[in-house]
Amino acid sequence: MRRSPRSAVAPARALLPLALAAWLLLPCAAAAQDDPRPLGDARVAAQVGAGVLVTPVAFVAAGKLTEMVAERMGADDPRASRVALVGAWTGAALATAAAPTAIGARGPGTGSYAAALGGTLAGGAGSWAIVRFMNRGSEEGRGACRVGCALAALAVFTLPSVGATVGFNLSRRER
């Protein structure tokens, strides 16, 4: 069976966020040689929680703002919606990385926003993979999904923030 050129590109596109995240995280982790005091559990929980809370707010706000700008620039409704979706995902990623960075920057050390953004992208890729895994098969063939679906949903919503927190904290160093 011969594969079309388009189907060969799809797996490579799926790996692009992971490659970008690795590119952003690895230099920052290597630069963190002078480890500052470790962060407490409460601060790490606050980093993750703030990222989880800010993500949907930024998604909606950035999407609406992008849609308004696209419509003012003369885009028709379907095109404005596509542009708004790109703006929403971009705004959510930037804000998700900003929340753990703002909380983690207080105290004895400093870290990298780029590393937090790389962690957000890696967590987002993990979320996407979970969604793809959970949506396999037909609707009729699936049984009731209680605990597994609840855990998958929790992971999907928290992985970008966890990734941002890990990325930022890996890049921490003394001031």
Which range, 16-30, 71-85, 126-140, has the best average confidence (pLDDT)?
A: 71-85
Q: Which 3 state secondary structure label does DSSP give 124?
A: helix
In this prediction, residue 8 has a pLDDT band, given cuts at 50, 70 and 90, of very low
**Is 84 within a domain?**
yes
Residue with more model confidence, 108 or 30: 108
**Is 56 within a domain?**
yes
Structural domain including 24 reads 17-28+38-174
> Count of domains in the chain?
1
How far apart, in whole angstroms, are the C-alpha atoms of residue 34 and residue 147? 42
In this prediction, residue 138 has a pLDDT band, given cuts at 50, 70 and 90, of low
**Is 4 within a domain?**
no
Return the residue matching tokens 């692009």: 16
**Is 73 within a domain?**
yes
How far apart, in whole angstroms, are the C-alpha atoms of residue 8 and residue 18? 18
**Is 5 within a domain?**
no
**Is 57 within a domain?**
yes
**Is 118 within a domain?**
yes
pLDDT for residue 32 = 47
* Contact in structure between 171 and 33 (CB atoms under 8 Å): no
**Is 1 within a domain?**
no
